[in-house]
């Protein structure tokens, strides 16, 4: 069951047979059960899963089986490729969610007949979610590159499409005023204040914060295994965060719902947005506090590598996304202060007879 906890594919069931071996089946109500070979995430498993899901489409939704040369068949081949099967389980899950929605809408179309203008129309139809449109374009660029390798096409139509524009700024970063307003509304000892401190003083994503517990704390640091990247981090606990942890109810998991169970990432995000709105902060999200953490680190004079060590980024260009909101006045003041305190080289005296006075 450990593999399924990572992959979490719809309609997949598993059980231990009498020999103690884990077996997997695709089981959708109203359709014949199909055995899935290998382990979840392997190329043979993903190809069989894609084929089973295609065959289980409801009447009227398209083809009953994967027809050669179609988008559906291309995605089956992509799931079986090294390009897909060697990715992390969390990455595979994200790709599947995106590409299976695309296949549901366009799986019966012929790969050879797809033109750039067809794809542009699809991306333009996602104008309300430009980030999702850009991600889909990135994924499809890889998928259609495989089509060229397989000889199904002579070119990659995605290359000739326009990249959808993302909303400027993405998630709204929290300002110092926002943080102060939230803290004024939710006092020390509340779940809300603990959630704010975990997000702000570790700089982690909501998916990592909801799993944090006392078992991860040792020698004044909290251990983080990032779900998205598999990065392993040790982050020193800030005094403000320690205050909130000490004031929280005793137990292993730090953040619990009103029913005493851990939050899901989506459930936590919804709950936290509602709590922010109750503090008069509309449109503020957990991820905005990750940006605020990056900004604070930049304003404190931390280097890009230091910021990356906290946020868990491997690329310094990624760090720039989270530090672009660093307070210009604070940084400029620090720069001028550094200039004032720096020793200057003594002025060079003019040579005798040079005519200078």
Joined tokens for residue 7 = 């992959």
Q: Which of 22, 27, 55 is nearest to 37 (CA)?
A: 22
Are 105 and 205 contained in the same domain?
no
Q: Do the beta carbons of residue 85 and residue 41 sit within 8 Å?
A: yes
> Would residue 171 count as lying in a domain?
no
Are 223 and 317 contained in the same domain?
yes
> Would residue 334 count as lying in a domain?
yes
Are 82 and 151 contained in the same domain?
yes
DSSP letter string, 244-275: HHHHSPSSSBS-B-TTSSBPPHHHHHHHHHHH
> Which regions of the chain are under pLDDT 50?
1-7, 58-64, 357
Q: Helix 191-202 to helix 239-247 angle, to the nearest 10 degrees?
A: 150
Are 326 and 302 contained in the same domain?
yes
Predicted pLDDT at 174? 94
Q: Do the beta carbons of residue 14 and residue 24 sit within 8 Å?
A: yes
> Would residue 9 count as lying in a domain?
yes
> Would residue 249 count as lying in a domain?
yes
In this structure, what CATH number is given to the domain that contains residue 314? 1.10.443.10
238: which residues sit within 8 A by CB, 6+ positions away? 197, 201
Predicted pLDDT at 28? 80
DSSP letter string, 97-125: HHHHHHHHHHTTSBGGG--HHHHHHHHHT
Q: Which of 84, 14, 93, 72 is nearest to 44 (CA)?
A: 84
DSSP letter string, 156-199: -GGGGSPPPPPPTTSSPPPPHHHHHHHHHHS-TTSHHHHHHHHH
Are 208 and 151 contained in the same domain?
no
Are 142 and 226 contained in the same domain?
no
Are 119 and 227 contained in the same domain?
no
Predicted pLDDT at 18? 78
Are 192 and 154 contained in the same domain?
no
Predicted pLDDT at 355? 53
β-pair partners for 16: 22
pLDDT tens-digit profile of 87-144? 877 778 778 888 988 998 999 999 999 999 999 999 988 877 777 888 899 999 999 9
> Would residue 348 count as lying in a domain?
no
> Would residue 192 count as lying in a domain?
yes
Are 151 and 206 contained in the same domain?
no
Joined tokens for residue 45 = 């498993």
Our count of domains for the chain comes to: 2
> Would residue 301 count as lying in a domain?
yes
Q: Which residues span the domain enclosing 288?
A: 176-340
Are 207 and 331 contained in the same domain?
yes
Are 74 and 201 contained in the same domain?
no
Predicted pLDDT at 168? 55
Are 122 and 206 contained in the same domain?
no
Predicted pLDDT at 357? 47
Predicted pLDDT at 131? 74
User: pTM for this structure?
Assistant: 0.56
C-alpha separations of 51 from 39, 146, 224, 277 in Å:
16, 18, 37, 45
């Amino acid at each position: 069951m450990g593999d399924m906890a990572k992959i979490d594919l719809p309609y997949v069931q598993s059980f231990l047979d009498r020999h103690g071996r884990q077996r997997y089946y695709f089981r959708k109500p109203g359709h014949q059960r199909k055995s899935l070979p290998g382990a979840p995430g392997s190329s043979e498993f993903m190809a069989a899963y894609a084929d089973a899901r295609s065959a289980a489409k409801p009447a009227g939704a398209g083809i009953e089986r994967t027809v050669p040369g179609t988008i559906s068949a291309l995605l089956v081949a992509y799931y079986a490729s090294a390009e897909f099967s060697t990715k992390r389980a969390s990455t595979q899950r994200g790709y599947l969610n995106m590409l299976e929605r695309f296949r549901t809408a366009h799986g019966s179309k012929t790969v050879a007949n797809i033109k750039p203008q067809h794809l542009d129309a699809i991306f333009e139809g996602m104008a309300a979610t430009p980030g999702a449109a850009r991600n889909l374009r990135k994924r499809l660029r890889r998928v259609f590159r495989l089509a060229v390798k397989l000889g199904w096409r002579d070119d990659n139509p995605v290359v000739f499409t326009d990249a959808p524009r993302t909303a400027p700024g993405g998630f709204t970063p929290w300002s110092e005023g926002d943080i102060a307003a939230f803290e004024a509304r939710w006092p020390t000892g509340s779940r809300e204040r603990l959630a704010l401190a975990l997000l702000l003083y570790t700089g982690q994503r909501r998916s990592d914060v909801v799993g944090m517990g006392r078992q991860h704390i040792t020698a004044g640091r909290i251990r983080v295994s990032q779900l998205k990247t598999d990065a392993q981090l040790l982050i020193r606990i800030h005094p403000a965060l320690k205050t909130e942890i000490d004031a929280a109810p005793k137990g292993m998991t730090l953040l619990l719902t009103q029913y005493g169970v851990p939050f899901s990432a989506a459930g936590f995000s919804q709950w936290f947005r509602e709590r922010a709105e109750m503090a008069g902060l509309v449109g503020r999200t957990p991820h905005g506090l990750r940006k605020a953490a990056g900004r604070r680190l930049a304003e404190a004079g931390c280097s890009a590598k230091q910021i990356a060590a906290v946020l868990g980024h491997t690329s310094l260009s990624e760090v720039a996304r989270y530090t672009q909101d660093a307070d210009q006045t604070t940084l400029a003041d620090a720069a001028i202060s550094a200039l004032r305190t720096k020793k200057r080289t003594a002025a060079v005296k003019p040579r005798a007879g040079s005519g200078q006075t």
